[in-house]
Amino acid sequence: MPNTCVSLKKDQYWQQILKRLIALVRVLGMQHLSFRGTHEKMNTSDNGNFLKFVEFLALFAPLMDEHLQKIRDNETHVPYLGKDIQNEIFQLLSNAIKQKILASARDAKYFSIILYFTPDAGHVEQLTMIIRFVDVISNPENDITAAASVKEHFLGFVPLKETTGAGMTEIILWQLEQMSLSIENLRGQGYDNGSNMKGKDNGVQRRILEVNPRALFVPCCAHTLNLAVNDSVKCCLEATAFFDLVQRIYVLFSVSTRRWEVLNRHVSNLTIKPLSETRWESRFDALKPLRYQLGDIYDALAEIADDTNLTGACGKTSRTDARVIAKAITSFKFVVSLVVWFDVLFEINNFRQKN
């Protein structure tokens, strides 16, 4: 009997420890904070947020303080504070959340999938899988629908070894089978405009439609819009020259701390930004400082161009570039282009944020 009591107390002890650690993992995850640092030992600098918060809990929670004392006295060799237990808690919580999402999706019956592809730091192509469905909440008292809302959930990353339409279709169908989601209930597909995805003959959308003709394909609106704007600029030399000049303004100031200091003295509200090569609507942020502070930026360029303290080949080049750019941004063509493109990208940016 005494052994049973001791065992019960020991079980309760570890249950309380794990309960606190799981709660800590949830909080750090919800706040998007990193867990591990350079070191993995207690009471050392740079040991990460997880261990630092454990130390913090020990200041006010006697149970956690007792646990850390046992670790210091080598009374326990299973502290449950290392990276392995953290990863295991991640996996358990992830599986629980995923199963709850899938249960809601199965209750809704019909669903759509949204897929994106991107290489990770290890140069492995990752499939990002997202599911959408209508979540209906019923009132059990009168058996009528109380509320309905569209839910969109991220289900995880899937490594890809093959990026052909046939290979990816096979993986998608296998993933749906593993999640107990019937392909017959699929009602929508959303991908980018890559030929392996939207190809009318061998793309993923065509192969899925052959399995289920009701799984209608809708290309990514943001990607489609981005391609349309990109192509419209590339076919116009005047637009290409305009954006090249905008980028030259940023480069001139950003490559030198001295020139950036000159800019900051003249521009106090909006800082100039570089152009984005992949998201055209974000170029709105690059044009905004020019649209409302063009005169101040011109004054900064004029100060650099007239700075006789800039000597040497680099200094002379900077003064020359500043003079050329200052003259270019005062032209009627540049000012009109700035106003027109700012208005266009403003509308595109608003559309992107709403969708």
pLDDT digits (tens, 9 = 90+) for 319-331: 899 999 999 999 9
Asked whether residue 77 carries a pLDDT value surpassing 80, the answer given is no
Q: How confident is the model at residue 5 (pLDDT cuts 50, 70, 90)?
A: very low
Write the CB contacts of 189 (distance below 8 Å, at least 6 apart in sequence). Answer: 112, 113, 115, 204, 205, 208, 215, 216, 217, 218
Give the three-class secondary structure for 163: coil
Q: Give the whole-angstrom CA distance, residue 21 versus residue 178.
A: 30
Q: How confident is the model at residue 2 (pLDDT cuts 50, 70, 90)?
A: very low
Q: How confident is the model at residue 8 (pLDDT cuts 50, 70, 90)?
A: very low
Taking the mean position of all CA atoms in its chain, how far away is CA 282?
15
Mean pLDDT of the chain: 86
Asked whether residue 139 carries a pLDDT value surpassing 70, the answer given is no
pLDDT at 50: 92
The full set of domain ranges for the chain reads 2-81, 107-219, 225-354
Of 260, 240, 248, 237, the residue nearest 329 (C-alpha): 248
pLDDT at 253: 92
Q: Give the whole-angstrom CA distance, residue 171 versus residue 168.
A: 5
Between residues 332 and 70, the one the model is more confident about? 332
Q: How confident is the model at residue 310 (pLDDT cuts 50, 70, 90)?
A: confident
pLDDT at 355: 59
Q: How confident is the model at residue 4 (pLDDT cuts 50, 70, 90)?
A: very low
Choose the weakest-confidence range: 143-157, 238-252, 253-267: 143-157
The pTM of this model reads 0.67
CATH for the stretch 107-219:
3.30.420
